[in-house]
Chain A
Amino acid sequence: MKKLLQKIVGKSPWLYRINAGSCNGCDVELATTACIPRFDVERLGCKYCGSPKHADIVLITGPLTVRVKDKVLRVYDEIPDPKVTVAIGICPISAGVFRDSYAIAGPIDSFIPVDVNVPGCPPRPQAIIDGILEAIKIWETRM
């Protein structure tokens, strides 16, 4: 296990975050994994980047509202292949408590191929780290 984790840590995918109309709850948890030393996602070799063109793993939050749909899809298309998509929170996975609202175009997997789901409202930072680990494993097979 340790060897495997070391191998994973040795490689360094860059993370990119898309907010598809989230309530910000999940984004706060994502910020927690990155900015707070207690959870420090950079131990996994990951790093948040500011441009979609630098991204390897994309973390999507929010139920994909009608208003942001086109912009989200445009940004998503700018991320170079191969990429791994992780849906964070119940919003992108099933639209959660907003399901069936006139303002929601999601769930996200009807527009974007998703690889890993991390449900929760919001999920714990540790659960997000689990999801990122799973994404890194998928990413290694795609490189």
Chain B
Amino acid sequence: MSSFLKIALRNLLKGPSTDPYPFGETFVPKGLRGKIKYNAKACIACGMCEHVCAGGAIQIKETADKSGLEFIVWHNTCAFCGLCEHYCPTKAIRLTEDFHTAHSQEDKYRYVERGFIKYVTCARCATPMVPIAPELMTLAYGQVNKDIEKLRHLCPKCRQKQSLR
């Protein structure tokens, strides 16, 4: 009985434990897996995220005018599993701590995260190619010197020729 009174008294002094949300601020635990954010500048279009996506939420497709790749994440089928972030070599895709996902039915198919990767042309043969993100360069070479930097602007074929020379 006395222990119960102790708890009752302590709770009385502590005040309400109810989270004030939506009337006030809420808390966000560190590392909460929320809505996807995509950074087209760091993406190398390797397709790994699309391959591992548990919910089939990711689509990478060439645009109709063949000027680049369109990247779409449909939030309405993303399971917040985090596989895409885990396997993305350049961390171009990541989960944010944004949990505000409620939206009306009209927006069901508009509720997406979009990105566009514009093709660049190879400095030697002018073939269109996916630009090589600086994140990938540091990942592959660590230190990037001038010679390596030159390779960055070549398409895979010319790059091969250049490195074998």
A119 to B160, alpha carbons, bound, how many Å? Answer: 45
A115 to B54, alpha carbons, bound, how many Å? Answer: 26
Which residues on B are within 8 Å of A, measured CB to CB?
16-19, 21-23, 26, 32, 54-56, 74-81, 99-105, 107-108, 111
Contact of A99 with B77 in the complex, beta carbons under 8 Å: yes
A109 to B104, alpha carbons, bound, how many Å? Answer: 13
Number of interface residues of A (CB under 8 A): 35
| In the complex, chain A residues whose CB is within 8 Å of the CB of B111 | 117, 119
Contact of B55 with A121 in the complex, beta carbons under 8 Å: yes
- Can you list 26 pairs linking A and B with CB atoms under 8 Å apart? A37-B16, A38-B19, A43-B18, A43-B23, A90-B55, A90-B79, A93-B77, A93-B108, A94-B55, A94-B74, A94-B77, A99-B55, A109-B105, A114-B105, A117-B101, A117-B103, A117-B108, A120-B80, A121-B81, A124-B99, A127-B101, A127-B102, A128-B102, A130-B22, A130-B102, A134-B103
Which residues on A are within 8 Å of B, measured CB to CB?
5, 37-40, 43-44, 90, 93-97, 99, 109, 113-121, 123-124, 126-131, 133-134, 138
| Contact residue among B54, B101, B104 (Cβ-Cβ distance under 8 Å from A119) | B101
| In the complex, number of A-B residue pairs with CB atoms less than 8 Å apart | 101
Q: A40-B18, A126-B19 are in contact. Are A116 and B76 (CB under 8 A)?
A: no
Q: A94-B74, A99-B56 are in contact. Are A126 and B21 (CB under 8 A)?
A: yes
